Amino acid sequence: MKIALIYFSQTGNTRRIGEAMAQVFREAGHVTRIVSLKKATPEDAITSDLIGIGTPCFSSQAPTPIKAFLHNLPILDKKPAFVFATSGGAPGRVLYDLTRLLQNKGANVIGGFLARGECHHPAPCLHGRMPDRPNADDFAQAQRFATAVIEHVSAGRSGSVVESRSDAFQPRGGFYDLVALISTDSFLRLMLPEPKADLTRCTQCEWCVHECPMHNITLQPYPVLGDRCIRCYRCLTGCPQQAFEANWRLGNLAILAFYNTTFERWFGDLKPGESIY
């Protein structure tokens, strides 16, 4: 079988979960490619017998770049597919977003997997949550899920894999689904600070221009942000010169109001005894 895993990943958590799954598929004898969203084309999906789509959770949903990629795919005509994501304690509808867009293209989504991933968001209240995740246990779970997927498809079974999370098929409809609903990109641009480049630090290396998933940065001759920012803060956290900054006084409070330990325990996805720090 030809398998393609297409993933969006900014700090490597989702990529590493995808790689753990790819290892299982290869060991089972399947030709497996794992492709970053930056390089992925619709051909990668069309020419494969099974596709896996992976993403981090942003604002309790799937981020715009991966949604746009799925939205632009051609009809997939019952092609088997699965979805996977990494998140903190409030994944909301991230898996369901991927499932729904794949189903809209006619794909046969058979399951979804979610792991925790350390958060590198620069807001002080979020930075460093879920330390050292995904861990060995997360990778082992990802591989068990991948084994279940490949057995399911190879045996020609119908329905979904037993190991799938139910929220890959049915939104939980709770508080974080509501937060996801109001957290449109334009709302985030209003609520959260825009990254600003410090011209005394910037060496015009162009890293941020190539790394911005929205192609929203141009050098003129220093970085200028356009109006498509999704506040992923990849430019800020990744700039080799640490030339970007943001003022977190209000944004940090706004995030903490929704994404605090109590709410994540009540309405999110934290298991009993699990802590976000």
Ligand X SMILES: Cc1cc2nc3c(=O)[nH]c(=O)nc-3n(C[C@H](O)[C@H](O)[C@H](O)COP(=O)(O)O)c2cc1C
**What residues make contact with ligand X under the rule CB under 6 A?**
9-15, 56-60, 86-91, 117-121, 232-233
DSSP category for residue 201: T
Q: Output the smallest distance, CB 154 to ligand X, in A.
A: 28
182: contact with ligand SF4 by CB under 6 A: no
230: contact with ligand SF4 by CB under 6 A: yes
Residues 231-250 that bind ligand SF4 (CB under 6 A): 231-235, 239, 241, 243-244
Q: Output the smallest distance, CB 134 to ligand X, in A.
A: 8
Q: Output the smallest distance, CB 121 to ligand X, in A.
A: 4
115: contact with ligand SF4 by CB under 6 A: no
Residues 185-204 that bind ligand SF4 (CB under 6 A): 195, 197, 202-204
Residues 6+ apart with CB under 8 A from 165: 95, 111, 112, 113, 114
Nearer to ligand SF4, 194 or 274 (CB): 194
149's contact among ligand SF4, ligand X, none, with CB below 5 to 8 A by partner kind, is: none
Count the Cβ atoms, other than its own, within 10 Å of residue 133: 17
Nearest to 35 by CA among 22, 24, 49: 22
13's contact among ligand X, ligand SF4, none, with CB below 5 to 8 A by partner kind, is: ligand X
Q: Output the smallest distance, CB 248 to ligand SF4, in A.
A: 14
48's contact among ligand SF4, ligand X, none, with CB below 5 to 8 A by partner kind, is: none
Q: Output the smallest distance, CB 188 to ligand X, in A.
A: 9
Nearest residue to ligand X by CB is 117
CB 110 within 8 A of CB 81: yes
Q: Where are the alpha helices (DSSP H) in the chain?
A: 13-27, 42-46, 64-71, 94-104, 136-154, 175-182, 185-191, 207-211, 234-238, 249-258, 261-267
Residue 7: what residue type?
Answer: Y
CB 276 within 8 A of CB 133: no
87's contact among ligand X, ligand SF4, none, with CB below 5 to 8 A by partner kind, is: ligand X
Kindly tell me the number of DSSP H helices and DSSP E strands found in the chain.
11, 9
Alpha carbon distance 5, 156 (integer Å): 20
Binding mask of the shown chain, residues 205 to 224, with x at each position contacting ligand SF4 by CB under 6 A: xxxx---x-x-xx-----x-
Alpha carbon distance 97, 169 (integer Å): 9
CB 79 within 8 A of CB 109: no
Return residues touching ligand SF4 (CB under 6 A).
195, 197, 202-208, 212, 214, 216-217, 223, 225, 229-235, 239, 241, 243-244
